[in-house]
Amino acid sequence: MWDEDNPATEEDVESITPAQLKEQMGRDEDVFILDVRSGDNFDEWHIEGENVEIVNYPYFRLLDGMPQDLLADLPDDQKITVLCAKGESSAMVAEGLEANGFDVTHLEQGMKGWARIYEYTELDVDTDATIAQYQRPSSGCLAYLVISSGEAAVIDPLRAFTDEYVRDARTLGAELTHALDTHIHADHISGIRTLAEQTDATAVVPAAAAERGVEYDHQYETVDDGDALTVGDIEIDVLHTPGHTSGMTAYRVENVLFTGDGLFTESVARPDLEDPEAARDAARTLYESLTETVLTQSDETIIAPAHFSDSATTNADGTYTATLGELRGAMDALSMDEASFVEFILSDMPPQPANYEEIIAANLGQASPDDEDAFELELGPNNCAASETALTN
């Protein structure tokens, strides 16, 4: 594969874990990545960051040696991190680069390992509960842990990380009593049933979401608009906010509103994942939910969404939240009339999430992928927003 005059070294090339790479990015260190996946896979999903420079050069173009055009694009004064899908091809490419004199490492487990990163940060909010936000950088998924007086609820949990919710609740002296979904997700496999099976937590689904045909083997409860769930000394209020899906529901804990996929800090929901043929009607419903339910909350309300995109701006503590007042002033869509809103939403929607139909089937209980298949299904971006950037001033 490599130039015979520059054979690969006998020793294994240095590797870096996904967590170490994320730590480097968090320290604002300059990071250079060579992504050797196919162009299609790269275009769909790759690592981004303000301090990240990335070059895509597919592995199959390297089988006959190290091309001069690639070598010319690589820095000779900076460490290069090579990555692929699972960490196998990247090791071979890294060996070849090292043999050509480059300072190089490769990412263990590749993008599949990157998808295993899950970060916990407590929100700085004035509530009687402890509220933590979980972030999955690979897909922009957000989940939340709400703790009060020895009891805990998790909102929009991911099946792949159920052990972490249980562990973190216990670390904070609480037991999980509720596992809530805001809707039937189309980008990741829900963890509410797994948590209910492993703990005494009650799985909770919005009633309108269950009406889509939920077929769970495990017992679950439904909630309607106006209901409230008690967790410790606090109540979780239920607000039906359809539009993204017919069952989309927000949950409120005092001044924090968990908006699911209805409203993000940089955009609003796309309306076409439940029924693409009814997207226009769903966009009208979304407008009604935003104007009559979400935007009637006070400007001090903290919006805590279920996703973030690459265009979202973090707070100083690294979390993704914003006050409703901030979003009113920054997001054009929140001040449009209905007709303009609908046309705007439908005009700029990104590609549908990968495998979204299979993921929806799994979250309805109509399909039963095992843990590994479930994890594979949700690799990639979430694409649950109508647009990443066009909705903000």
Counting the structural domains of the chain, the total is 2
Whether residue 162 sits in one domain with residue 123: yes
> What is the CATH number for 81?
3.40.250.10
Tell me which of 7-16, 135-144, 191-200, 294-303 is least confident: 7-16
User: 155-168, pLDDT tens digit by residue?
Assistant: 999 999 999 999 99
User: 230-241, pLDDT tens digit by residue?
Assistant: 999 999 999 999
Whether residue 343 sits in one domain with residue 322: yes
Whether residue 362 sits in one domain with residue 293: yes
User: Is residue 208 included in any domain, yes or no?
Assistant: yes
Whether residue 27 sits in one domain with residue 151: no
Instruction: Determine the pLDDT at residue 64.
Output: 84
Whole-structure pTM value: 0.92
Rounded mean pLDDT, 207-230: 96
User: 259-283, pLDDT tens digit by residue?
Assistant: 999 999 999 999 999 999 999 999 9
Q: From CA 234, how far away is CA 125, in angstroms rounded? A: 14
Whether residue 304 sits in one domain with residue 220: yes
Is residue 376 predicted with pLDDT exceeding 50? yes
Is residue 147 predicted with pLDDT exceeding 60? yes
Tell me which of 45-54, 208-217, 276-285 is least confident: 45-54
Query: How does residue 10 score in pLDDT terms, banded at 50, 70 and 90?
Result: very low
User: Is residue 85 included in any domain, yes or no?
Assistant: yes
Query: How does residue 388 score in pLDDT terms, banded at 50, 70 and 90?
Result: low
Single out the residue in 55, 80, 114 at which a domain terminates.
114
State the average pLDDT for the chain.
Answer: 92
Single out the residue in 81, 114, 147 at which a domain terminates.
114
User: 83-98, pLDDT tens digit by residue?
Assistant: 999 999 999 999 999 9
Contact 206, 183 (CB under 8 A): yes
Known catalytic residue: 84?
Answer: yes
By C-alpha distance, which of 28, 72, 67, 18 is closest to 50?
Answer: 28
Rounded mean pLDDT, 143-162: 98
Instruction: Determine the pLDDT at residue 390.
Output: 42
Instruction: Determine the pLDDT at residue 153.
Output: 98
Whether residue 283 sits in one domain with residue 153: yes
Is residue 6 predicted with pLDDT exceeding 50? no
Q: From CA 210, how far away is CA 245, in angstroms rounded? A: 12
> What is the CATH number for 350?
3.60.15.10
Q: Which amino acid is at 44?
A: E
Residues in the chain, overall count: 393
User: Is residue 276 included in any domain, yes or no?
Assistant: yes
User: Is residue 71 included in any domain, yes or no?
Assistant: yes
Is residue 8 predicted with pLDDT exceeding 50? no
User: Is residue 390 included in any domain, yes or no?
Assistant: no
Q: Provide, rounded to the nearest whole percent, the portion of the chain with pLDDT above 70.
A: 96
Q: From CA 47, how far away is CA 39, in angstroms rounded? A: 14
Whether residue 150 sits in one domain with residue 273: yes
User: 188-201, pLDDT tens digit by residue?
Assistant: 999 999 999 999 99
Select the more confidently predicted residue: 27 or 149. 149
Whether residue 57 sits in one domain with residue 164: no
Query: How does residue 389 score in pLDDT terms, banded at 50, 70 and 90?
Result: low
Catalytic residue among 36, 66, 84, 179: 84
Whether residue 197 sits in one domain with residue 215: yes
User: Is residue 382 included in any domain, yes or no?
Assistant: no
Instruction: Determine the pLDDT at residue 2.
Output: 45
User: Is residue 389 included in any domain, yes or no?
Assistant: no
Is residue 330 predicted with pLDDT exceeding 50? yes
User: 337-367, pLDDT tens digit by residue?
Assistant: 999 999 999 987 888 888 999 999 999 999 9
| DSSP collapsed to 3 states, the chain | CCCCCCCCCCCCCCEECHHHHHHHHHCCCCEEEEECCCHHHHHHCCCCCCCEEEEECCHHHHCCCCCHHHHHHCCCCCCEEEECCCCCHHHHHHHHHHHCCCCEEEECCHHHHHCCCCEEEECCCCCCCEEEEEEECCCCEEEEEEEECCEEEEECCEHHHHHHHHHHHHHCCCEEEEEECCCCCCCCCECHHHHHHHCCCEEEEEHHHHCCCCCCCCCCEEECCCCEEEECCEEEEEEECCCCCCCCEEEEECCEEEEECCECCCCEECCCCCCHHHHHHHHHHHHHHHHHHHCCCCCCCEEEECECCCCCCCCCCCCCCEEHHHHHHHEHHHHCCHHHHHHHHHHCCCCCCCCHHHHHHHHHCCCCCCHHHHHHHCCCCCCCECCCCCCEC
User: Is residue 76 included in any domain, yes or no?
Assistant: yes
Whether residue 204 sits in one domain with residue 63: no
Single out the residue in 80, 114, 148 at which a domain terminates.
114
Whether residue 125 sits in one domain with residue 108: no
Whether residue 26 sits in one domain with residue 107: yes
70 lies in which domain range? Answer: 15-114
Is residue 7 predicted with pLDDT exceeding 90? no
Query: How does residue 12 score in pLDDT terms, banded at 50, 70 and 90?
Result: confident
